Chains A and B, each alone.
Chain A
């Protein structure tokens, strides 16, 4: 039995939120495509960053997540794939969206398939996905799907906008990455510590 978990992180602020709506649509598209790859069960876990706004600031200041945020972070870093959607603020991702990724442990998203999305008032900011979100994910060494989906306000009211087709294509790309990915197992430095003699040799540059 093949099951997948997709974490769908959205950083929308209002309720209802078009950012969350886009994340849900992307999640549904990825689910349908994964079933096409033979998945028996796909679980999409929505993560509304707004719900953790205070905890995220606390984490930045104290260096650790509180227990509720820790669970959320573990869900995201343990997922088979990630959907990340932000509203565009001042031509880039929102500060809250960035803070969420700032508190994720280094290396925790390495190789994780990611589908990017953004929302905004006008289509003029659609390249924010490619010049802001994509480099962030490249730094985190995530595997980013080629298609990012931008939804401007006007896209929600027109069939010609092609939003539905972009969502379907992007969902398919994420599904292919998730289904084709070998589960990555990073060595745990607590379970398999580097023996001291080796630490000593490498300290001295030997």
Chain B
């Protein structure tokens, strides 16, 4: 099972000091956090993609390319790559390039984006969101698997004899997860292709995601990619820890109360009851995260949101350290107990290359 971080990349004033980092500071903070993730033994760092203030990460592969050179084991990913407003041809090129530079340590989570004005800025319409996600990915999927593509669709210029370069590393495309928080169509899409499904479950109650993930698992089996419990599921998590639970609560409360997403609404205690947010000791974070398996079944990737709501870099780095040294080693051990042998790990470049090779061998034998 993989553990890591995902970052929205928001530039938010620290409510306890009133200080707002510059964009430059925030960008460098993200790369420092990613490098810390590798240092403390985490597996994945995923950046968001946004095209409006107060967010900095508009160019994910630039950031991930930099990180590829600065890290050795970390899987570089996104949360999410906008499959709606980006040209699928450019996604094919950018992420294949990243895949080569990172020696295969790259995958991506596709999402639609829910900021209305971003669509027209890129010549699109948010009301076409699902259609864009479906058609654009269908093209992206072909661009990585067919050397020469003739294509005509509704949303982009037709292609005649087009070859997307560079070709994927070792002829194996980067693994794709489809992210959704509320669309059964996207669960259906992920299941159809046998791709991963990332449910960012941090903002809403579990019942909603149980239906979404349940649908993905059931359709994954329907399309013949394996049994429902072999589908590739990723989950989010949101935690703030101190050795002493009360210290965590006291320190995080002003960040919670003023957070852009849920601030000035429910109390932190109420939000913790209704969503996976955990503010407390490392043991409380371990207990809460282990419950995900009971709620959603054995899964493959767990990403935590840690750098948001104006938390200073120094604090975030302490959080990543706690996560890597005190929480994740226990989670790895506990999640391994009782995990059926037929439940796969999250695909990596090496496993996908091996699988492709096994497929070729089978064909040769036949």
Minimum CB–CB distance for A65 against chain B, Å: 9
B184 touches A62 (CB 8 A): no
The answer to the question of A204 belonging to the interface, with a C-beta cut-off of 8 Å to chain B, is yes
Task: Report Cα–Cα, A44/B266, bound state, in Å.
Answer: 30
Task: Report Cα–Cα, A64/B219, bound state, in Å.
Answer: 26
B153 contact set on A, CB distance < 8 A: 204
Which of these binds chain A: B86-94, B98-106, B129-137, B228-236? B129-137
A58 contact set on B, CB distance < 8 A: 265-266, 270
B131 touches A203 (CB 8 A): yes
A64 contact set on B, CB distance < 8 A: 203-205, 208, 274
On whether A67 and B188 interact (CB within 8 A), knowing A190-B215, A204-B153, the answer reads no
Minimum CB–CB distance for A48 against chain B, Å: 20
Task: Report Cα–Cα, A57/B262, bound state, in Å.
Answer: 11
Q: Which A-chain residue is minimally distant from B191 (CB atoms)?
A: A196
B154 touches A203 (CB 8 A): yes
B266 touches A62 (CB 8 A): yes
Q: Can you list 30 A-B contacts with CB-CB less than 8 angstroms, sorted by A residue number?
A: A57-B265, A58-B265, A58-B266, A61-B262, A61-B264, A62-B203, A62-B261, A62-B262, A62-B265, A62-B271, A63-B203, A63-B204, A64-B208, A64-B274, A67-B274, A70-B205, A189-B184, A190-B184, A190-B212, A193-B215, A194-B185, A194-B188, A199-B134, A200-B134, A200-B138, A203-B130, A203-B135, A203-B138, A203-B154, A204-B135
Minimum CB–CB distance for B288 against chain A, Å: 17
Task: Report Cα–Cα, A15/B256, bound state, in Å.
Answer: 34
Task: Report Cα–Cα, A63/B264, bound state, in Å.
Answer: 13
Q: A195 contacts which of B132, B154, B188, B270 (Cβ < 8 Å)?
A: B188
Total CB contacts across the A-B interface at under 8 A: 74
B188-208: which residues lie under 8 A (CB-CB) from chain A?
188-189, 191-192, 203-205, 208
Task: Report Cα–Cα, A195/B266, bound state, in Å.
Answer: 38
The answer to the question of B293 belonging to the interface, with a C-beta cut-off of 8 Å to chain A, is no
The answer to the question of A157 belonging to the interface, with a C-beta cut-off of 8 Å to chain B, is no
Task: Report Cα–Cα, A194/B191, bound state, in Å.
Answer: 12
Among all A-B residue pairs, the 9 with the closest Cβ atoms = A61-B265, A196-B192, A203-B131, A203-B134, A58-B266, A189-B184, A203-B135, A58-B265, A64-B204
The answer to the question of B211 belonging to the interface, with a C-beta cut-off of 8 Å to chain A, is yes
On whether A199 and B185 interact (CB within 8 A), knowing A57-B265, A67-B205, the answer reads yes
Residues of chain A touching chain B, judged by Cβ–Cβ distance below 8 Å, are 57-58, 60-64, 66-67, 70, 189-190, 193-196, 199-200, 202-205
Minimum CB–CB distance for B129 against chain A, Å: 10
B154 touches A193 (CB 8 A): no
Task: Report Cα–Cα, A63/B265, bound state, in Å.
Answer: 11
Task: Report Cα–Cα, A144/B6, bound state, in Å.
Answer: 48
Chain A CB within 10 A, most for which of B203, B223, B266: B266
Minimum CB–CB distance for B275 against chain A, Å: 8
Task: Report Cα–Cα, A199/B219, bound state, in Å.
Answer: 14
The answer to the question of B214 belonging to the interface, with a C-beta cut-off of 8 Å to chain A, is yes
B211 contact set on A, CB distance < 8 A: 190
Minimum CB–CB distance for A176 against chain B, Å: 36
Chain A CB within 10 A, most for which of B184, B187, B215: B184
Task: Report Cα–Cα, A63/B205, bound state, in Å.
Answer: 10
B99-155: which residues lie under 8 A (CB-CB) from chain A?
130-132, 134-135, 138, 153-154
Minimum CB–CB distance for B295 against chain A, Å: 15
B212 contact set on A, CB distance < 8 A: 190
A193 touches B262 (CB 8 A): no
A63 contact set on B, CB distance < 8 A: 203-204
Minimum CB–CB distance for B137 against chain A, Å: 10
Known interface pairs A57-B265, A200-B134, A203-B130; 5 further A-B residue pairs with C-beta atoms within 8 A, sorted by A's residue number: A61-B263, A63-B204, A64-B204, A193-B188, A196-B189
Minimum CB–CB distance for B178 against chain A, Å: 12
Task: Report Cα–Cα, A16/B356, bound state, in Å.
Answer: 72
B274 touches A190 (CB 8 A): no
Task: Report Cα–Cα, A98/B185, bound state, in Å.
Answer: 30
Minimum CB–CB distance for B98 against chain A, Å: 27
A205 contact set on B, CB distance < 8 A: 154
Task: Report Cα–Cα, A63/B274, bound state, in Å.
Answer: 12
Minimum CB–CB distance for B71 against chain A, Å: 35
B131 touches A202 (CB 8 A): yes
B219 contact set on A, CB distance < 8 A: 193
Task: Report Cα–Cα, A205/B270, bound state, in Å.
Answer: 44
Contact mask B216-238 → A, CB, 8 Å, 1/0?
A: 00010001000000000000000
A60 contact set on B, CB distance < 8 A: 265
Minimum CB–CB distance for B182 against chain A, Å: 9
B274 touches A193 (CB 8 A): no
B204 contact set on A, CB distance < 8 A: 62-64
B261 contact set on A, CB distance < 8 A: 62
Task: Report Cα–Cα, A88/B186, bound state, in Å.
Answer: 43
B223 contact set on A, CB distance < 8 A: 196
B185 contact set on A, CB distance < 8 A: 189, 193-194, 199
Minimum CB–CB distance for A78 against chain B, Å: 16
Q: Which B-chain residue is minimally distant from A59 (CB atoms)?
A: B265
Q: Which B-chain residue is minimally distant from A202 (CB atoms)?
A: B131
Task: Report Cα–Cα, A70/B187, bound state, in Å.
Answer: 24
